A and B are shown apart, each in its own frame.
Chain A
Amino acid sequence: MLLKIAWKNIWRNRTRSLVLIAAVVLGLWGGLAMVSFSLGMMDQRAKDQIEKLISHVQLHHPDYRDERKVELFIPDGLQVLNEIQQKPNIKAATGRSLAGGMLASPRKSIGVMINGVMPASEALVTQLEGKVIEGEYFPEDARNPILVSERAAKMLKIKLRSKITLTSQNAEGEMVASAFRVGGIFKTIDAKYDEAHVFVQATDLQRMLGQEGQIHEIAILLNSKEEVLPVQAELAEAFPEVQVETWKEVSPELSMMADSMDQVVWIFVGVVIIGLFFGIINTMLMAVLERKEETGMLMAVGMKRAQVFKMIVLESTLISLIGVPLGIVLTQLTVGIMGNVGIDMSAFSEGLAQMGMSSTVYPMMEPKYYVIVAIQVFVVAILGSIYPAFKAVGFKTQYITR
């Protein structure tokens, strides 16, 4: 009975009810749009970093990442790499010899991480070849070629074909040095990374260190982020004496960034929901005030206060029951379309492209967010009707029907 009255009340004043429904739809859409946009943005950033710098999965000697000693190479590394490259679920894999050292020009020296890479497979995993902005990517006939970053080249005042010296420490703790010739200059998305890394051929570095055929790191690129955990489990089982880590473990900063976005977004979603809450109180209050006489009449003919209260809360509940599914459909449509087209951010934030970061964000969604935000909106819609309902109950009967 009460339900019927509430339902009829809603359609008696269409404009008002449509405004309320639209507020619910828009509130839900707004909250979800924020979530999907930030999910898309986080994914884009992680993807940039993974595909250009850290890869999905990395393998090391169990102690290497803590101690970074050259003698901690992966046992039978090349064979492990070979086996991994054969696996069907892996997009690309490469091995690296690594050593900390000094890069010295006649003018100055800086501390760097020397990356001994396998040029062909490295290009597949981190697109290193594409980052070379000047010179050539490890030409076959060059002797001891090295790639230095634009930033390091500037600091050391060196250019293409300059001769520089790399100094490092071998497994026995002796200082070893070798001359290299700048074959190319690179630039990545990360200026700090650039300052501290140089690339040489793995074979050249291994010869310098006296560690022929030994690699310290295997980096693996997968087809998607979803495959990371299964692949990690599979490799950990296949190679028990090697440490297998995911991108999140390799780069906690990156997952920290994702987490921090997550919490911040929820605070913003909260702001939108508060906006909706207020919109509903506002509109319902107006609706109630407008219907003073009518409510007074209902009470005069014997409707109890509790029933009037319930009726108004019910109206709001019904409205959100209509609004929430519509909002979800609208969100799905938006995310579906924008997720394919993408939102071009270059107009809003200059510098993205210069940093080598993708400037198009593809909003995306996970089902759980629909549920969370829908519940929030629903609860807020009902809560928003409570104050107006109290107001309605408070009207004095005689005064109203006068």
Chain B
Amino acid sequence: MVTKLAWRNLWRNKRRTFIVIAAIMFAVLLSTVMDSLQAGVYENNIKNMVGFYTGYAQVHQKGYWDDQIMDNTFEDVEGLKKEILANSHVEEVVSRLESFTLAASRKKTTTTQLIGFDPEAEQALTKLKDKLIAGSYPSPEDRALLIGEGVATKLELGIGDSIVLMGQGYHGVSATGLYPIMAIAKFGSPELNKSVIYLPLKEAQYFYGAENRLTSYALLLDKGSAVDEVVADLQQRLDTHAYEVMNWNEMMPWLLQMQQADAGGNKVMMGILYLVIGFVIFGTLLMMIQERQYEFGVVMAVGMKKRKVALMTLIEMLFMTLIAIVSSFTLTIPLLWYFKENPIQLGGEMEEVYQQYGFEAIMPASLDPSIFYYQAIVVFVLAMLVYAFSINKIFRIKPVEAMRH
């Protein structure tokens, strides 16, 4: 009965109902957009960071990550790679053999990270070829180096010059070699730029005396959000006594920490937004009740209990909130999809610095479904809270005075 009355009330004054619904809809829209942009920035940062080098996940010999020495390498058996590729989210497995090595020219010496790499697979993950500023990209058979721009400057060498490499190989053998530089690349991260030297995998294995051995498989996934699933799956299927499967957040804990540091700030921002949109809903409700004073006065005068009137408005509110939340998705999803495809461009000085670091200066939206659910629930609770605040106006109505309006 009361429900029926409430439902009819809604459509008696359509314009008023639409205004309230619009206020709530807009609240969902704004909070979802804000949350989605905040999340989108992180997703993008992670994508950029893992694309620099590590990949979303890596597989190593067990114990390698804590103790990165040549003796903690594993054999590159065909079955292992197949097993990893069996997971449908894994698009490419990038083999690497890397260690610290001294690099010397005639006059200078510097410490570098020598990475034995698979040129094709590496291109798929880190787009190494696109970073070349001189020379040509090595093929798997080449016995020549691709070096960071910073290494070239430090050693005062260019294309065609040779570098002496000295390091420690597998089982403690001393590794030395002389290689020509065939390519120079500029990396976004200054750290990489001044320390990396790439050598095709086969030659690197020969250099380290580590025939057919690898330090890591870096995994290229079809989407970043699948990483937990992939890691769990591989931990199940690979022999975890022999191998370790690591998530990017274990390899780069500081990246996650930085996000956690920001998370608090974002929550405060969301809190401020909730205050503002909560008030918009509150204002709308308050005016709605005020406008309906006469009507409430009449129904009370003919014997409807105040509690019943309040219940009726509560049901009206529930209807309106639910309609608003459901219909808001028809607005937010296309809007966010648009912002994901056409991210907000950050301009000015920041764009330059971002690009210098190899980051894209954009603010894309995230389409993570949990954002929609979460914000819908928050706004629902917010609307109900606000309703609870405005309800006491109904209890204070004196029917006789109200009808005089």
Residues of B within 8 A of A19 (CB): 282-283, 286-287
What is the distance, in angstroms, from A131's C-beta to the closest C-beta of chain B? 17
Residues of B within 8 A of A83 (CB): none
Q: Are B273 and A272 in contact, CB atoms less than 8 angstroms apart? A: yes
Q: Are B67 and A155 in contact, CB atoms less than 8 angstroms apart? A: yes
Q: For residues 272 through 313 of chain A, which have their beta carbon under 8 Å from a beta carbon of chain B? A: 272, 274-276, 278-279, 282-283, 285-287, 289-290
Interface: B314 (CB within 8 A): no
Given contacts A30-B272, A259-B349, contact A16 B290 (CB under 8 A): yes
Residues of A within 8 A of B225 (CB): none
Q: Are B350 and A279 in contact, CB atoms less than 8 angstroms apart? A: no
Q: Are A256 and B277 in contact, CB atoms less than 8 angstroms apart? A: no
A54-62, A73-81, A107-115, A228-236: which lies at the interface: A107-115
Interface: B261 (CB within 8 A): yes
Given contacts A260-B350, A272-B276, A290-B291, contact A267 B37 (CB under 8 A): yes
Q: Are B69 and A108 in contact, CB atoms less than 8 angstroms apart? A: yes
B73-81, B104-112, B241-249: which lies at the interface: B104-112
Residues of A within 8 A of B33 (CB): 271
A86-94, A134-142, A346-354: which lies at the interface: A346-354
Given contacts A264-B363, A275-B276, A278-B280, contact A111 B287 (CB under 8 A): no
Q: For residues 254 through 278 of chain B, which have their beta carbon under 8 Å from a beta carbon of chain A? A: 254, 257, 260-265, 267-269, 272-273, 275-277
Q: For residues 128 through 153 of chain B, which have their beta carbon under 8 Å from a beta carbon of chain A? A: 153
Residues of A within 8 A of B331 (CB): none
What is the distance, in angstroms, from A311's C-beta to the closest C-beta of chain B? 19
What is the distance, in angstroms, from A38's C-beta to the closest C-beta of chain B? 7
Interface: A85 (CB within 8 A): no
Q: How many residues of B contact A (CB 8 A)?
A: 66
Q: In the bound complex, how far is the Cα of B269 from the Cα of A30, in angstroms? A: 9
Q: In the bound complex, how far is the Cα of B354 from the Cα of A255, in angstroms? A: 11
Q: In the bound complex, how far is the Cα of B265 from the Cα of A343, in angstroms? A: 10
Q: In the bound complex, how far is the Cα of B344 from the Cα of A265, in angstroms? A: 13
Q: Are A22 and B283 in contact, CB atoms less than 8 angstroms apart? A: yes
B16-24, B117-125, B318-326: which lies at the interface: B16-24
Interface: B353 (CB within 8 A): yes
Q: Are A278 and B26 in contact, CB atoms less than 8 angstroms apart? A: yes
Q: In the bound complex, how far is the Cα of B26 from the Cα of A192, in angstroms? A: 43
What is the distance, in angstroms, from A78's C-beta to the closest C-beta of chain B? 27
Closest 5 CB pairs of A and B: A111-B111, A348-B264, A349-B264, A279-B280, A19-B283
| 7 more A-B residue pairs beyond the given contacts A285-B19, A349-B263, with a C-beta to C-beta distance below 8 A | A102-B111, A110-B100, A267-B344, A271-B30, A279-B279, A282-B22, A286-B287
18 contacts between A and B (CB under 8 A): A23-B279, A26-B276, A30-B273, A38-B265, A102-B100, A111-B100, A111-B111, A154-B66, A173-B107, A252-B353, A259-B349, A263-B348, A272-B276, A274-B30, A286-B16, A286-B19, A286-B287, A352-B260
